[in-house]
Amino acid sequence: MMKFKEVFPPTAYSEAIADKITYARDGSEFEGIVKAVVYPTTREQIINLLMLGKSEKLHFTIRGAGTNTLGSCVPANSVVVDLSRMNKIIEITTDSVTVEPGVILGDLLKELKKKGLFFPIKPLEYNVCSIGGLVAMNSFGLDIRYGRVEKWIEELEVIDGNNKKLKVSGAQLKDFVGMEGTTGIIYSIKLKLLSAPLPKTISIFKFNTITALMDKYNFVSNNKHVISVYFLDEFCSSFLELGNSLLLIVEYDNDNGVLKSEEEIANLDLFMERLQHLLINKKYVSKEDPFIPLENIPQFIQWLRKNAIPCYGYMHLGIFHPCFREASPLNTELYNVVKVLKGLVPGEYGIGIKRKQFLSDSKLSRIKSNYDPSKVFNRGVLID
């Protein structure tokens, strides 16, 4: 038995075999080894835990809701720090909200709606994902025009691997946002809010050929009022009962779009959310997110068609989401295709254990050395 009772009450730590099995995995296919699981509820407990870790030579895997599909919170013979009990909404003002990392996004959105406020980053898993997880992965929402969550963070409060308490804002946010728990434990998050969603109108264009689709994209992308362009292939449009065509869904910040009413736009947004569930129901359980340069998008779509791979994506960002059935060899082949097309494998979702082989960033090592020189956080994720 480790000395966790010096830091936590009996209900806030576990070395039970059942818990070790449960916490050995996240939402990915990877499995690790758990020494123990702890459930802090205060900043002071985290500080004392790290002091204990130093004396006992422990290291830690930081975990939110455990929905990550890349292995970003798979333990490496480590103590799992489950932040789900740090779930308080600390303060809501007219333009910001401060929360603990374990707050579930869906719960936060409900509270904000009661007060006539709006937080724009809403991924598919919003009803189960934690705010801390959003920050750790620097997530996009379903509405890509709002950017990543980093754009909506005003301040973080963090305890780093040196056991220092830090208030982080501005340029320093990049040392923690999207770092997948490797530089510190975030215990307080202040987010920026809007009073309502930004206005938009939408047009949908259908195509039978890749050439016609690309011609239309090149035309609309020169319109300064276009804020985003979504792509759906024939499979996805068919799943949504929108015909069997290639689609571009173009969003405007003025009234150029055909769909103008809030109800029509809300229904289309629900369609995009429904697509994610339809793909999963049809056993397309693995989703990638490569970046493809504009000039090579036609070749990429041809490869998808040839191999009957459903795909949707964000034409204006060059990020696509090909979807694969479990254990499909095409998933591995994708990486070679992306390399040939001069693309990048991690375009949107992060790195984790699954994609660490594609990471070669000396800057990342310098950041890690600054905040966590002893590598007590998330070993094996991004950096061994």
For position 117, what pLDDT does the model report?
Answer: 97
Element (H, E) at 364: helix 362-371
Average pLDDT for 321-332 = 91
Contacts of 250 (CB under 8 A, 6+ apart): 202, 203, 204, 205, 220, 226, 228, 229, 230, 257
pLDDT 10s digits, 179-194 = 999 999 999 999 999 9
Average pLDDT for 267-278 = 85
Decide: pTM greater than 0.85: yes
For position 52, what pLDDT does the model report?
Answer: 93
pLDDT band of 2, cuts 50, 70, 90: low
In this structure, are residues 72 and 377 in contact, taking their beta carbons and an 8 Å threshold?
no
The pairing of beta strand 89-92 with beta strand 76-82: unpaired
Provide the b/e sequence for 316-332 (b: ≥16 CB within 10 Å).
bebbbbbbbeeebebbe
